[in-house]
Structure 1
Amino acid sequence: MIASGHTQAYRELKAALAEVIPHERLIDDPLRTLAYGTDASFYRMIPQLVVRVESEAELIRVLGECHARALPGTFRAAGTSLSGQAVTDSVLILLSRAWRGHEILDNGEAIWLQPGVIGARANQLLAPFKRKIGPDPASINSCMIGGIAANNASGMCCGTAQNSYRTLRDIRVILADGTVLDTADAASREAFRHSHGELLVGLERLSRETLANTALADKIRHKYRLKNTTGYALNSLVDFTDGIEILKHLMIGSEGTLGFISAITYDTVPDEPLKAAALAFFPDMATTCRATIALKKTSVAAVELMDRAALRSVQNKSGMPEVLKTLPEGAAALLIDVRGDDEAVLESREAEVHAALEGIKTLEPLGFTREQATYELYWKIRKGLFPAVGAVRETGTTVVIEDVAFPIERLDQGVLALTEVFHRHGYQDAILFGHALEGNLHFVFPQGFEKLGEVERYQALMGEVAQLVGVEYGGSLKAEHGTGRNMAPYVELEWGADAYALMWRIKGLFDPDNLLNPEVILSRNPTLHLENLKPLPAADPLVDKCIECGFCEPVCPSKDLTLTPRQRIVIRRELARLEALGEQASEEDKARIERLWKDYRYQGDETCAADGLCATQCPVNINTGDLIRSLRRERNVGKAGVARLVGHHFSGTTRFGRGALNVAAFGQALLGDQGMVKVSRALRKLSGERLPQWLPSMPRAASIKVLNRPIGSGDRVRDKVVYMPSCATRVFGANRDDQESRSVMELTLALLDKAGFEVIIPAMPGHLCCGMAFQSKGQFIEADHKARELNRELLAASQNGRYPVLCDTSPCTLRMQETLDARLTLMEPVAFAHDHLLPRLEITPLTEPIAIHVTCSSTRMGLTDKFVALARACATNVVVPAEISCCGFAGDKGFATPELSASALQGLAHQVEGCVAGYSNSRTCEIGLSLQGGIPYRSIFSLVDRVSQPKETASREEAVPGV
């Protein structure tokens, strides 16, 4: 732990860094140091200072100032690390969004990446070339390249042949003394040889000594026949003799203890497009392991092992095959994946598998599927195992995932021995799965540390596991999750004294003052893995199942502004822990509670869009927005009367909104955009932030009169559809300066008429609301009242569900689907246009480039692919901006907290440059998108209307279901 005497040193450090780094990126307040200091491991350490760096120059300055004060520093990318390698009680150096640079090289044969690029984004960039990066960790949608390389993370298809160590072409690193080495640059290499010749000579000496020690060299080669991330990459000393090459490969898996990876160039690997999978069931683990060994010689892409306990943990989940419930005790399964560039290759590889398993008993006939839904179901079973334990664990416990590798020829013995160890220590709930081809197994189990004796039980388990795997079987204690703090006390046990001493010599060459992530990988502390254990107290049933993995973070609109869902939960848990002290709370505790709640108001509440996207990425399906709305309900309980008044006079409220837009338009005409922004900002400040901020993209007021005229009546036989315009489209009209001057209501009615529909408008359309506007502010009673009111009117208009209901706004449709009568067929613009307008219209696609924004509600409804397909049916050049998820406008958040949308959409303008317009399916979102994107954003109905003509006849086969 950091001594209290260092407090002054941290103050001096912050003051020195403030000369080059803005104050907002130097963080030392109690709320954010705790929030930003939390990773996916079961350790908690609170940094004294968090620094968000945006350049190499800033990073070098941070390292220099830390060194001058002997203060340790730890690098953090995404923080999905499981072994405690990304936590510190000193200086935490966070990567900002500035580290997301990338470049495709050699027609996709290689890719240059900065450490802040998310792994899945790298593969998205490579997809047009049918290539991908070699590493494929399960967290690839969240983890960043810096962490993938620094941990030598691998995955399900990666094996040992395609990990970062094996696919590394070049690397750019910053060492502890601030020196930069770019191995792709001859001048940089030459300069480094001149300035750091002693380091390179030292590495080359270690290589010669290791090669001369035949027993040690053979042990190293054996250990890296397996997946192995325990300790430093000693294979670099036997694979290479040149100091630069040794250094380059030592950085892989070094977990930020030898230097900072500023960029990496990977040689990419083929991404074969055709895929097939088989789920093979075997009567016992011994048979399963024999099958695995047989498959090692085939051209399979992946073989994933799952024991009976693992399969039982998911057998009752929706969509799981019924056969899982009937498997006998002791049974196990292999998920076998094969891939190919063409049908012939795929078929030959399937045949290889059948031949390899000939004579090995299976419980069910082996058959491959290429059907996408079934293929995805099989992988859903495998990927659902870790969260399955997390979802059923006792509140207050964490989820521990141990990650070992056995020599594959002894896999069956190792599995049985390891299972026996877990059961002997009382871990009956442990499940076993893993990457069988590499002998790489994951044991997952719930673990509490609060109850008496639990720490000792865990210690006894780990000691026996380490002896069994590392010594008796010659395996690796950390196959792919990194050593971290969790396994640091056992590195010498696994490797032996000679190899361990070699690792300390490596550390001494790179970091003689031991200031780069100390106590990670190497530690003299035998109980390090039992210290600084993370508390997980009950906070709220809505979020108590959170395992703090961070998978939610990439899609959160506030991730670069304030907190992420994981961090919001971290702070809520800390508040619950402190408040549970009750009368035992000290004055310091009480002051901390008050300060945390005060800061949480903005950091956690006001800047949360509550869009629910976090639930789409969460392994245990937590919607952190539900937590925030619940807190808003508690805070706004005194405003229930106002909410009831607004809800009961809703048509007047929307009329007032249109009137305010007309007044704003007059003000804009008088003062201009800049003048209006200044006046609005001043009025907002005087009101205590109660008045909304006027935006240059503020649209005209809509006219509700368009709903008064009948659409589609007459002699022609037409299908009927109920049209429910949202309150947003009833208030906000078209953009002021846009060529598209029609409101969403006008566009919707025109398209329905063109496609041959008769439109039914529910009674009192100006008064109706789905209730989302009230729900988002925690006014649940009035939200439910408005939903019941809408439900009644839509049932009447649709004749109890006989006719479908179209809502012109996606988020409102999602809310309606979640709350209204199941008899109603509720459709939003994208799904309705794709399924029921396109077949009835003649389409002439646009040739000029357009952009689309898939709203968070569309994502949650599973409409992303349909959205893209609809746009591509209407335009030949469609831009889908990368890494833009929720726009952050969140109803009225864009007016009340405009910095949220600005942060969420940072970089949008660059990505849509050259597009003539953008299209979406939420009017308020389009306001924020227009402002930040620099192009007009309109309803997707505007695009469909622009490119379409009515067909002469509409087939009855194309009728909407329910008509």
Structure 2
Amino acid sequence: MPETEEEVKSIVALCQNHGVPIVPFGAGTSLEGHILSSSTGVTLSLEKMDSILSVNPEDLTCTVQPGVHRLALNESLGRDGLFFPVDPGADATIGGMCATNCSGTSAVRYGVMRTNVLALNVVTPQGELIKVGSGAFKNSAGYSLKDLYVGSEGTLGVITSATLRLQPLPSHVSAGVCAFPDLPSACEAVLSVLHHSIPCVKIEVLDSSSIIAFNQYNKSQANLPDQPHLFIELSDPTEEGLRSQESLVKDILSFSSRTTPSFSTDPASIKSLWAARHSTYYASCSLRPNSKGLVTDVCVPISQLSTLMSETVNDVEAAGVVGPCFGHAGDGNFHCILPLLPNDPQEYVEKVSAVNKRLVERAIEMGGTCTGEHGVGTGKMGYLEKQYGAGAVHVMKAIKGALDPSNIMNPGKILLGD
């Protein structure tokens, strides 16, 4: 558990000299096996490197160590009227969020980690400290090494600090829910909202199974009809601007749903709604008590989301398995949670695996990706060549071989045969 960059450098250099593999560790919230060791080696926990090094309100930036948790960061930034907008479901560390290029419900407005990371300090596999990116919002100098390390899943080096782009806390916020007769209607409404240039902060779609789980798990907070829903958040610097957005969104949603959306500006109600939304994994698993969920993660062009979700729901029903489906509708990112019990028969496990496999393959066929925000880890390695082709994967292997020729950095992740 190093506490400084110098200690990280020393540990990595020592491991390099002895050929010992290193698995960087943040909060352990990864969903694709990033922190699993494929061999003997060292787990390099960055939990004690949890300091906010600087906050620059005028520049709308901050620099933090990798072990800082996102909720603690935003609690601190809130005192200056600022926040960091990337919000995965878990209270992940900033280092882990950088390593997986994660995102969350607010990506439709603020983008993913790559969008919001300006610079990094990285310890290379040889134990050298390098600085990539800059503190400026624009940078055209040389190869974008910052973007290479963001999303590298600990396979190219150890992130020891990150400079992040911040946002002012919104002055006026509204959140709403709307029920729809079916998923295509809900997804059609999302496209209409986006095509009207409404700057939604969040726009989430949940199928009827998700709503059933949602109601069951959040009994004190939810009593929604068992139909597909959209959850939406809007914000604006002025109350008048927020009301204008809300009015237009209500008109669009009412047209597609034939119902009246419900919106609230009460901070406690808004917080409660999104806390419940972030509990979807646990809510889904509650449909099969004592289960653990296989979490899928794909992303497609937004025009394809309706077809992808509908066909996946059909696959789940045809297979006779449990699998609530929901997603970040504004950017085409979609999850299906497939709960499994320790004593499930092999036939059931194989059905779940087949649903997951078909979902990923279908997303790639639609021009999308095998992973929108969770990363490749160990679970998606077999899909990289299907998505990119052999040539692109060869380039990835060449980069890995050039930067980590001894293959000590998180081996067995991202690339098959690594």
TM-score where L is the length of structure 1: 0.41
SS in 1 for 2:144: helix
Instruction: Tell me the equivalent position of 2:56.
Output: 105
Letter in 2 for 1:83: E
SS in 2 for 1:146: helix
Residue of structure 2 aligned with 1:408, choices 302, 307, 314? 302
CA–CA distance in structure 1, aligned partners of residues 34 and 265 of structure 2: 39
**How far is the alpha carbon of 1:421 from its aligned partner?**
2.7
Which stretches of structure 1, 4 residues or more, deviate above 6 A after TM superposition? none
**How far is the alpha carbon of 1:449 from its aligned partner?**
6.1
In the TM superposition, what whole-angstrom CA distance separates every residue of 1:597-630 from its partner, at most 9, and x where no partner exists? xxxxxxxxxxxxxxxxxxxxxxxxxxxxxxxxxx
The 5-angstrom pairing of residues 115-154 of structure 1 reads: 115-139=66-90, 142-154=91-103
| Aligned CA distance change for structure 1 residues 350 and 389 (closer, same or farther; 3 Å) | same
Instruction: Tell me the equivalent position of 2:123.
Output: 174
Whose RCO is larger (CA < 8 A, sep 6+)? 2
CA–CA distance in structure 1, aligned partners of residues 109 and 153 of structure 2: 18
Quick check: 1:287 aligned with 2:182?
Answer: no
Aligned Cα root-mean-square deviation (Å): 2.4
Residue of structure 1 aligned with 2:257, choices 340, 346, 361? 361
Letter in 1 for 2:284: V
SS in 2 for 1:319: coil
**How far is the alpha carbon of 1:469 from its aligned partner?**
1.1
Work out whether residues 295 and 437 of structure 1, in 8 Å CA contact, stay in contact via their aligned partners in 2: no
Letter in 1 for 2:101: N
Work out whether residues 172 and 181 of structure 1, in 8 Å CA contact, stay in contact via their aligned partners in 2: yes
Instruction: Tell me the equivalent position of 2:200.
Output: 300
The 5-angstrom pairing of residues 429-444 of structure 1 reads: 429-444=322-337
**How far is the alpha carbon of 1:78 from its aligned partner?**
0.9
Work out whether residues 73 and 516 of structure 1, in 8 Å CA contact, stay in contact via their aligned partners in 2: yes
Could you tell me the percent identity over the aligned residues?
26
Instruction: Tell me the equivalent position of 1:334.
Output: 230
| Aligned CA distance change for structure 1 residues 321 and 75 (closer, same or farther; 3 Å) | closer
| Aligned CA distance change for structure 1 residues 452 and 356 (closer, same or farther; 3 Å) | closer
The 5-angstrom pairing of residues 422-821 of structure 1 reads: 422-427=316-321, 429-448=322-341, 451-453=345-347, 456-470=350-364, 472-524=365-417
The 5-angstrom pairing of residues 42-441 of structure 1 reads: 52-88=1-37, 89=39, 90-107=41-58, 109-139=60-90, 142-159=91-108, 161-183=110-132, 242-243=141-142, 245-296=143-194, 297-316=197-216, 317-324=218-225, 327=226, 331-357=227-253, 359-362=255-258, 364-395=259-290, 397-427=291-321, 429-441=322-334
CA–CA distance in structure 2, aligned partners of residues 278 and 183 of structure 1: 40
| Aligned CA distance change for structure 1 residues 159 and 503 (closer, same or farther; 3 Å) | farther
SS in 2 for 1:53: coil
**How far is the alpha carbon of 1:373 from its aligned partner?**
4.0
| Rg (Cα) greater in structure | 1
CA–CA distance in structure 2, aligned partners of residues 310 and 501 of structure 1: 40
In the TM superposition, what whole-angstrom CA distance separates every residue of 1:151-185 from its partner, at most 9, and x where no partner exists? 11111112384322112222111111111112478
| Aligned CA distance change for structure 1 residues 143 and 418 (closer, same or farther; 3 Å) | same
TM-score where L is the length of structure 2: 0.91
SS in 2 for 1:360: helix
Deviating more after overlay: 299-308 vs 177-186: 177-186
**How far is the alpha carbon of 1:425 from its aligned partner?**
3.5
**How far is the alpha carbon of 1:241 from its aligned partner?**
7.2
**How far is the alpha carbon of 1:517 from its aligned partner?**
0.4
In the TM superposition, what whole-angstrom CA distance separates every residue of 1:726-747 from its partner, at most 9, and x where no partner exists? xxxxxxxxxxxxxxxxxxxxxx
SS in 2 for 1:359: helix
In the TM superposition, what whole-angstrom CA distance separates every residue of 1:676-723 from its partner, at most 9, and x where no partner exists? xxxxxxxxxxxxxxxxxxxxxxxxxxxxxxxxxxxxxxxxxxxxxxxx
In the TM superposition, what whole-angstrom CA distance separates every residue of 1:252-274 from its partner, at most 9, and x where no partner exists? 01110011111111121232032
In the TM superposition, what whole-angstrom CA distance separates every residue of 1:322-358 from its partner, at most 9, and x where no partner exists? 442xx4xxx3100111112221221122123134336
SS in 1 for 2:311: helix
**How far is the alpha carbon of 1:146 from its aligned partner?**
0.5
Work out whether residues 108 and 129 of structure 1, in 8 Å CA contact, stay in contact via their aligned partners in 2: no
SS in 1 for 2:283: helix
CA–CA distance in structure 1, aligned partners of residues 244 and 277 of structure 2: 25
Q: How many residues align?
A: 410
Letter in 2 for 1:460: A
| Aligned CA distance change for structure 1 residues 310 and 265 (closer, same or farther; 3 Å) | same
In the TM superposition, what whole-angstrom CA distance separates every residue of 1:610-661 from its partner, at most 9, and x where no partner exists? xxxxxxxxxxxxxxxxxxxxxxxxxxxxxxxxxxxxxxxxxxxxxxxxxxxx
| Aligned CA distance change for structure 1 residues 323 and 387 (closer, same or farther; 3 Å) | closer
Work out whether residues 52 and 73 of structure 2, in 8 Å CA contact, stay in contact via their aligned partners in 1: no
Deviating more after overlay: 154-163 vs 308-317: 154-163
Larger fraction in helix: 1
Larger fraction in strand: 2
**How far is the alpha carbon of 1:242 from its aligned partner?**
4.5
CA–CA distance in structure 2, aligned partners of residues 449 and 473 of structure 1: 34
SS in 1 for 2:415: coil
SS in 2 for 1:484: coil
CA–CA distance in structure 2, aligned partners of residues 335 and 184 of structure 1: 35
Work out whether residues 107 and 129 of structure 1, in 8 Å CA contact, stay in contact via their aligned partners in 2: no
**How far is the alpha carbon of 1:387 from its aligned partner?**
1.0
**How far is the alpha carbon of 1:283 from its aligned partner?**
0.7
Work out whether residues 340 and 346 of structure 1, in 8 Å CA contact, stay in contact via their aligned partners in 2: yes
